């Protein structure tokens, strides 16, 4: 039995192989995206799902599925292993019997990005990397900063001009260098990030350009399948920015199917804001490549507002088509309603996360999702980092009273009437 079954990288585009001990971002030959490969045949012979019983509850209990070699290099704040909550309130509103929320608002820095950065930073530490760079709308920067500090990696975070001040402050709090980036088009950023690797030797942590982050998102598949007694749900619904989350989860489910631990695969649903939605737009016209579309400043769903897909969005579109899923856009008004609904199910979510629920509502109404289907919505980030939207989504109480029992009695009577 091995601690990790990862073997090598393969380039998506030119299919060249590379060693995992090289500090690579994209393919050194053609610039394509790299993908970590595993010896699943060997793994199938060596282990069964029982191996994972009795291990700790973080995402590191699945270490066989990651490319890290040595246990000493793990940089962890207790990420993964979040609750899978069966909906009570929303399920009733929508007449659904098997609606679940994977509550990643509870992650160490408040978003699901921690899964990716725990693995990517551990891996960078193992490679001896000391300086890193990422571009972020806020949550990735916070997560990158926290894990980098723990690994003594010098982190630089370039945030979008749209990033809210709380998120920027959190990135500094965790100890990274942060600067707001002004640019005319996304191509400028891509070019600059490329040169940062070539000329400044900065290892990159942008999803997909960094070949490791999405490997950790496979942990959704493992955690959810285990919780359903080694069965996949019918639908997995993800808010999609770069697509690292949805693509990683899909890779995890495919691995489990190859291992013979689950029999079916979920349909993967990608959710984006109406203001941009480049992936949805490509999906609706049957394309496998997406182009830049829309205005990122026109939605409250900041964490998924990117309008320029990485490498044409091919990985996300393949995930949708190959799984028999679909892509959907949601409006800010629909997102605000979903934030409120999640609140009534005990979850305080940021708008981008609530987008997945808004899409479920639409899909149940038009029959793409049936009332009996098992549906898992990934709730990717905490509402506390975007508190202004919580105030906008929920009513701020105006009730006042003096501390007397008669006023309390009157208040209760009044509340019960409304």
Closer CB to Zn ion, residue 24 or residue 140? 24
Q: In this chain, which of 233, 241, 252, 325 binds ligand PLP, going by CB under 6 A?
A: 241
| DSSP 8-state assignment for residue 30 | T
Q: Is-contact 377 237, C-beta < 8 A?
A: yes
Give the separation between CA 283 and CA 269, rounded to whole angstroms. 11
Shortest Cβ 206–Zn ion spacing (Å): 18
Residue 179 falls in which region: left (phi positive, over 0), alpha (psi -120 to 50) or beta: beta
Q: H or E segment at 375?
A: strand 374-379
Shortest Cβ 405–ligand PLP spacing (Å): 44
The answer to whether 211 contacts ligand PLP (rule: CB under 6 A) is no
Q: Is-contact 120 203, C-beta < 8 A?
A: no
The answer to whether 18 contacts Zn ion (rule: CB under 5 A) is no
Which partner in ligand PLP, Zn ion, none is near 83 (CB below 5 to 8 A by kind)? none
Beta pairing class for 131-136 and 235-239: unpaired
Binding track, positions 61-100, relative to ligand PLP; x by CB under 6 A = ----------------------------------------
User: 131 to each of 22, 194, 336, how far by Cα in Å?
Assistant: 15, 15, 39
Q: In this chain, which of 29, 92, 289, 298 binds Zn ion, going by CB under 5 A?
A: 29
| DSSP 8-state assignment for residue 207 | B
Which partner in ligand PLP, Zn ion, none is near 381 (CB below 5 to 8 A by kind)? ligand PLP
Which partner in Zn ion, ligand PLP, none is near 122 (CB below 5 to 8 A by kind)? none
For residue 273, give the 3-state DSSP assignment: strand
Radius of gyration of the chain (CA): 22
Which partner in ligand PLP, Zn ion, none is near 239 (CB below 5 to 8 A by kind)? ligand PLP
The answer to whether 304 contacts ligand PLP (rule: CB under 6 A) is yes
Other Cβ atoms less than 10 A from the Cβ of 385: the count is: 22
Q: In this chain, which of 58, 87, 103, 111 binds ligand PLP, going by CB under 6 A?
A: 111
The answer to whether 411 contacts Zn ion (rule: CB under 5 A) is no
User: 334 to each of 18, 177, 265, 352, 418, how far by Cα in Å?
Assistant: 45, 35, 28, 11, 24
Count, residues near ligand PLP per rule CB under 6 A: 19
Binding track, positions 322-351, relative to Zn ion; x by CB under 5 A = ------------------------------
The answer to whether 14 contacts Zn ion (rule: CB under 5 A) is yes
For the beta sheet containing 203-204, the strands, ordered from the edge strand earlier in sequence to the opposite edge, are 177-181, 154-160, 131-136, 203-204
Residues that bind ligand PLP (CB under 6 A): 111, 113, 139-140, 207, 239-245, 303-304, 350, 352-353, 380-381
């Amino acid at each position: 039995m091995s601690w990790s079954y990862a073997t090598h990288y393969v380039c998506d585009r030119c299919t060249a192989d590379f060693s995992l001990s090289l500090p690579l971002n994209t393919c050194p030959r053609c610039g394509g995206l790299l993908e970590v490969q595993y010896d699943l045949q060997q793994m199938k012979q060596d282990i069964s799902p029982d191996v994972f019983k009795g291990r700790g509850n973080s995402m590191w209990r699945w270490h066989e599925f990651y490319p890290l070699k040595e246990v000493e290099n793990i940089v962890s704040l207790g990420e993964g292993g979040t609750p899978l909550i069966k909906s009570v309130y929303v399920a009733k509103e929508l007449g659904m019997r098997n609606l679940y929320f994977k509550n990643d608002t509870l992650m160490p820095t408040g978003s699901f990005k921690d899964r990716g950065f725990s693995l990517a930073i551990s891996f960078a530490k193992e490679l001896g990397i000391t300086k890193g760079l990422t571009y972020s709308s806020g949550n990735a920067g916070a997560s990158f900063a926290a894990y980098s500090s723990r690994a003594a990696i010098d982190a630089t975070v370039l945030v979008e001009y749209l990033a809210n001040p709380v998120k920027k402050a959190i990135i500094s709090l965790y100890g990274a260098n942060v600067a707001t980036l002004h640019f005319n088009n996304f191509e400028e950023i891509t070019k600059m990030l490329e040169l940062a690797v070539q000329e400044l030797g900065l290892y990159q942590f942008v999803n997909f350009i960094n070949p490791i982050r999405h490997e950790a998102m496979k942990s959704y598949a493992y955690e959810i399948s285990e919780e359903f007694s080694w069965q996949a749900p019918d639908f997995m619904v993800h808010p999609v920015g770069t697509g690292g989350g949805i693509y990683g989860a899909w890779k995890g489910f495919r691995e489990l199917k190859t291992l013979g631990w689950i029999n079916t695969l979920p349909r993967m649903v990608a959710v984006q804001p109406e203001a941009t939605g480049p992936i949805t737009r490509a999906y609706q016209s049957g394309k496998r490549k997406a182009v830049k579309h829309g205005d990122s400043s026109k939605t409250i769903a900041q964490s998924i507002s990117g309008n320029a897909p990485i490498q044409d969005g091919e990985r996300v579109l393949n995930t949708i088509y190959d799984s028999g899923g679909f892509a959907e856009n949601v409006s800010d008004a629909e997102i605000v309603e979903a934030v409120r609904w999640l609140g009534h199910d005990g979850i305080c979510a940021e708008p981008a996360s609530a987008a997945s629920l808004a899409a479920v509502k639409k899909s149940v109404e038009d029959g793409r999702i049936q009332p009996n289907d098992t549906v898992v919505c990934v709730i990717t980030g905490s509402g506390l980092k975007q508190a202004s939207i919580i105030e906008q989504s929920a009513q701020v109480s105006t009730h006042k009273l003096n501390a007397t029992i008669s006023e309390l009695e009157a208040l209760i009577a009044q509340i019960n009437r409304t």
